[in-house]
Amino acid sequence: TQSFDRADDGELTVDGVRVSQLAEKFGTPEYVFSEDTFRARAREFCTAFEDAFSAHGAEVSVYYAGKAFLTTAVAAWAKEEGLNIDTASGGELGIALRAGVPGDRIALHGNNKSVAEIRRALENKVGRIVADSVPEVQLIAQVAAEMGVVAPIMLRLTPGVHASTHDFIATAHEDQKFGQSLVEGTSGLSGLSLEELLGLGLDANDCYAAISVAIAHREQSLDLRGLHCHIGSQIFEADGFGKAAEKVLTFMHEMNQRFGITMPEIDLGGGYGIGYTEEDHPRGSADVATSLADMVSKTCANLGMDIPHLSFEPGRSIAGPSGITLYTVGTIKNVSIEDENGDTRVRRYVSVDGGMSDNARPVLYESDYTATLANRAPAGEQVLSRVVGKHCESGDIVVRYVYLPEDLQAGDILAVPATGAYCFALSSNYNYLTKPGVVATSADKAPREIVRRETEEDMLRRDMGLV
């Protein structure tokens, strides 16, 4: 689907609706989310991965990573398109359940799940809980035993691959909080004594992850469904995923043999990069899926094992390109700056009515975005501009560098593309700005808010007044 288009007069349209109409009806700043694009991308991802792996005789499940962007409606669309939902907290789990997603199609993640979250997941018979550490495996076993149920678990591993992305979103090198080490001799870090290790059939040379496998194998209240890894986010090359898969598969094979088991599944997480600006060149999902399937199949052949069931957790690659943010231009001013050559130049600062509260990614990760004049044709002379928000911070930048028409004026509407993932999700009320709503568009439905704009009353609901 081509949801984002220009009308004959040059105005931006989303699923056939003019942005000026959206802005008038729903106000700005507003997240505009194309239901059609989201559904199409969800299907495209599934088809690409299913086709690539079925060529090697393997089956695939796809879990939409709700952390990227989740509302009740979005969870329902993902379910309708055949995806499962990956949740990272009790709150995300609650939204998926509210949308009518069956428990067995939900996964629960996190590196520090509470007893209440584990219990809620088990009560709703989730398909899997992904355990992040030895203490967590023990806790899940204990909660499940108390409830008299068997918990389906996967173990999140640290394959030691440093993905080329921002440090804050790279998650598979050793020195970060997620997952269980595959490095030999790390079992000592688990706090288990040598005696306890020996009781599990392990020794001090084993890795941390092996302890979890041994405990999961021993505990009656745990069903070890397989192994998981996620190397990071906004990654373009298939290589990192392939290397991680190789490490996890090798470990799986070793553990299967050691304990005489067959773990049925491996989850390779999410992390597929999208284009934010023209500088980004994401590979299509079919391309990534094919190289990954080849690498996995080759590794399994080398190990002499059958290819396990594969699962994936894309978030950004499905939600990101489905959404844009609309802002109204306010004050515009020219600032004198010195460029790299020491020459004095003018930089145009264009202020909009939102900022770091609706898109924290530029401040958090120095992320680059672009912006386009949306309510009319972005024609004429273009001026290098910086789009900034209205917050009390100089770092409150929406788009660092962008050429915008010289005749830009207050009241014009700017659209920032690719804000469908991790913008609404990371939004805040900094400076007591009310949060934008989310309008969903679709070629065959009138645009409607799936999350309504926050009012000042909503925002102050928890302020206890003059107590």
Q: Which residues are catalytic?
A: 392
Angle between helices 90-98 and 115-123 (to 10 degrees): 20
Out of 230, 243, 253, 390, the residue judged to bind ligand LLP by CB under 6 A: 230
313 binds ligand LLP (CB under 6 A): yes
Q: How far is the CB of 25 from ligand LLP (least distance, A)?
A: 28
Candidates 7-15, 35-43, 60-68, 329-337; binding stretch for ligand LLP (CB under 6 A): 60-68
Report the run of H or E that residue 257 belongs to, with start and end. helix 239-259
227 binds ligand LLP (CB under 6 A): no
Nearest to 58 by CA among 343, 353, 309, 390: 309
244 binds ligand LLP (CB under 6 A): no
- Pull the structure tokens for residue 113: 């799940």
Is the preceding peptide bond at 264 cis, omega within 30 degrees of 0? no
How many Å apart are CA 127 and CA 50, to the nearest integer? 20
316 binds ligand LLP (CB under 6 A): yes
Candidates 211-219, 228-236, 240-248, 388-396; binding stretch for ligand LLP (CB under 6 A): 228-236
How far lies 265's CA from each of 128, 150, 155, 251, 400, in Å?
11, 17, 11, 13, 43
Residue number with CB closer to ligand LLP (158 or 385)? 158
3-state DSSP assignment of residue 378: coil
251 binds ligand LLP (CB under 6 A): no
315 binds ligand LLP (CB under 6 A): yes
Residue number with CB closer to ligand LLP (85 or 307)? 85
323 binds ligand LLP (CB under 6 A): no
Sign of the CA dihedral running 71, 75, 81, 83: positive
Candidates 198-206, 268-276, 342-350, 395-403; binding stretch for ligand LLP (CB under 6 A): 268-276
Paired strand residues for 31 = 325, 438
Candidates 180-188, 247-255, 312-320, 329-337; binding stretch for ligand LLP (CB under 6 A): 312-320
CA–CA–CA angle 389, 441, 376 (5° rounding): 55
127 binds ligand LLP (CB under 6 A): no
Q: How far is the CB of 230 from ligand LLP (least distance, A)?
A: 4
**Are 268 and 241 contacting, i.e. CB atoms less than 8 angstroms apart?**
yes
313 marked ligand binding residue: yes
Q: How far is the CB of 436 from ligand LLP (least distance, A)?
A: 17
Give the β-pairing of 309-312 and 265-267: parallel
Q: How far is the CB of 299 from ligand LLP (least distance, A)?
A: 21
- Pull the structure tokens for residue 283: 């590979």
**Are 280 and 273 contacting, i.e. CB atoms less than 8 angstroms apart?**
yes
Amino acid (1-letter code) at residue 343: D
DSSP 392-420: S-TT-EEEEEEEEETT--TT-EEEEES-S
CA dihedral 420, 422, 425, 430 (to 10 degrees): -110
316 marked ligand binding residue: yes
Residue number with CB closer to ligand LLP (128 or 316)? 316
111 binds ligand LLP (CB under 6 A): no
How many Å apart are CA 347 and CA 339, to the nearest integer? 10
Out of 233, 375, 427, 441, the residue judged to bind ligand LLP by CB under 6 A: 233
- Pull the structure tokens for residue 81: 């398109």
Q: What's phi and psi for 381, nearest 5 deg?
A: -60, 135
79 binds ligand LLP (CB under 6 A): no
308 binds ligand LLP (CB under 6 A): no
How many Å apart are CA 243 and CA 65, to the nearest integer? 22
How many Å apart are CA 89 and CA 118, to the nearest integer? 10
Question: What part of residues 379-418 is at the interface with ligand LLP (CB under 6 A)?
Answer: none
270 binds ligand LLP (CB under 6 A): yes
Residue number with CB closer to ligand LLP (28 or 419)? 419
41 binds ligand LLP (CB under 6 A): no
CB neighbour list of residue 457: distance below 8 Å, 6 or more residues apart: none
Residue number with CB closer to ligand LLP (226 or 378)? 226
3-state DSSP assignment of residue 14: strand
Residue number with CB closer to ligand LLP (182 or 374)? 182
Out of 29, 242, 269, 437, the residue judged to bind ligand LLP by CB under 6 A: 269
Q: How far is the CB of 350 from ligand LLP (least distance, A)?
A: 23
327 marked ligand binding residue: no
Residue number with CB closer to ligand LLP (288 or 450)? 288
Residue number with CB closer to ligand LLP (12 or 229)? 229
- Pull the structure tokens for residue 429: 């009320």
Enumerate the known binding-site residues: 271, 313-316, 361, 365, 393, 422
- The binding site for substrate comprises 316, 361, 365, 393, 422
Give the binding site for ligand LLP (CB under 6 A). 65, 67-68, 86, 109, 169, 230, 233-234, 269-272, 313-317, 361, 365, 421-422
